[in-house]
Structure 1
Amino acid sequence: MSYINLPADQQREIAAIDVRALEAAVDKCERGEQIGPIYVLGLSGCGDFIASEYRAFERALAAHGKAKAHAKRDQTRADVLRAGSNLIHAVEQMQERVRTEQEQAQLFVVDDQVMAPSRFSDRLTVTVRYRWRPSADAQWAYGQASFIHEYTPLPNYTHSIPKRKPSAAKADRDLQEKLYSEWDHLKMQALCAVRDFLRDGGDGADVPESFVVRPSPHGGALNNFSCRFWLPR
């Protein structure tokens, strides 16, 4: 699963969409009140964002086809037009993202395939690997950065005390689930931090090999600034 990079197959599918053909197909769908004209464009392999807008357009068309009363059809037609516009905008937005990622990949790539450990402890670590170069014709340099977070669970005052103490096995499972959730959050923050630093012109050689993250002073949870290693302490 990709986290900050679009998979290569999705990039190809999205880039291959002819937006003018999509606009024409959406118009035919709206006039014919059926989804058929858009099938041939192959939107199914373009990722969740486009797929969700496609399904919304499909639902709007179906609702419009079922509407009988004049006032209801006016409402459902407006819904169809809005959903069609949203679908076209989603494709345009994702095509812009593809162009941006392909341009950035000429100078840096952050590997977002980070495997979770088989078991977690309170000391959570995410290691981000990346490569960078000063220009598109330069040699690649490689690096990695480990982000370390000492997990401290926050008290939850909304839960009542259970009548029966959970078994050691269940308590361990519950703790592992909490630790995984925190690790997954740390992973996203770490990946985004390295990407943002390189995207904004930072030198990959300046990324620290090890960085103890800075939890929020309000409760100790991770926030959007916790992994930004370039910020002053």
Structure 2
Amino acid sequence: MRPLRLDNCGLYGASSARAFEKALDAYGRAKAEKKRAETKHDAVSAGMDLVHAVQQMKERMAMEEEEEQRFYVDDSITPPNRFGERLSARVGYQWRPSIAAPWLCGDITIFHDVDMRPDYTLPPPKRKPSAARQAQERQDALYREWEHLKSLALYSVRDFFKDGGNGADIPKVFQAKPDTYTRGLNNFSAKFWL
């Protein structure tokens, strides 16, 4: 099985391949008839799981190849050098209405105004951090929020095209809608078509 390189088939495929090899090894070491029957059942079950994992990976590859014929979302978004409370993520994309049509380009910039009010549900620190430390913690928090916004923007554009959306309908700018309870981003914040 090693020449098949199933360890390169994603996390699920690799773990299924390891489980199958382990079950085969246990079956090969079993001596007693009862133990051989148990380990044979485990090996067959692990083999079926591996077959399912490979089939799932093949289906996903076919779906991704079909999607690559219709659209491409550029995921190389570089973060700014310094973050402010107004964050933005610009996502570039290419699409075509049919495989015979020429590629069209576009982009969307999604903005998010971060609410940096302190969280009073957390206990206060024992010592007040220095100004430099506070500034660094603020930049770290803004970076994490920007990473979340970037991911949501990429998934949003990808999901729009997967659902059959037309790239001409994507707005140039969109203000993310924060969660009313947490004041932060949630899975629906960047869905510009809702």
> Deviation at 1:126?
1.0
Question: Equivalent residue for 1:34?
Answer: none
> Deviation at 1:225?
1.4
> Deviation at 1:190?
0.9
Which of 186, 189, 192 is equivalent to 1:226?
A: 189
Residues 216 and 85 of structure 1, relative CA distance in 2, 3 Å threshold: same
Residue segments in structure 2 that go unaligned for 5+ positions in a row: none
> Deviation at 1:195?
1.3
Question: Equivalent residue for 2:172?
Answer: 209
Q: 1:95-135 deviations in whole A, cap 9, x for unaligned?
A: 11111111111111111222223332221111111001111
Secondary structure of the residue aligned to 1:128 is strand
Question: Equivalent residue for 1:4?
Answer: none
Sequence identity percentage: 48
Q: 1:183-213 deviations in whole A, cap 9, x for unaligned?
A: 2221221111111212222211111111110
Which of 18, 40, 45 is equivalent to 2:8?
A: 45
CA RMSD of aligned residues (A): 2.6
Question: Equivalent residue for 2:119?
Answer: 155
Matched, 1:98 2:30: no
| Distance of 1:134 and 1:110 partners within structure 2 | 15
Which of 70, 77, 84 is equivalent to 1:114?
A: 77
Matched, 1:167 2:130: yes
Q: Which amino acid aligns with 1:45?
A: N
Task: Report the TM-score when normalising by structure 1.
Answer: 0.71
Matched, 1:182 2:153: no
Residues 64 and 140 of structure 1, relative CA distance in 2, 3 Å threshold: same
| Distance of 1:68 and 1:168 partners within structure 2 | 69
Q: 1:140-162 deviations in whole A, cap 9, x for unaligned?
A: 110010111111247262x4222
Report how many aligned residue pairs link the two structures.
193
| Distance of 2:143 and 2:23 partners within structure 1 | 38
| Distance of 2:134 and 2:68 partners within structure 1 | 44
Residues 59 and 121 of structure 1, relative CA distance in 2, 3 Å threshold: farther
Q: Which amino acid aligns with 2:101?
A: A
Secondary structure of the residue aligned to 1:144 is strand
Task: Report the TM-score when normalising by structure 2.
Answer: 0.83
| Distance of 1:170 and 1:85 partners within structure 2 | 54
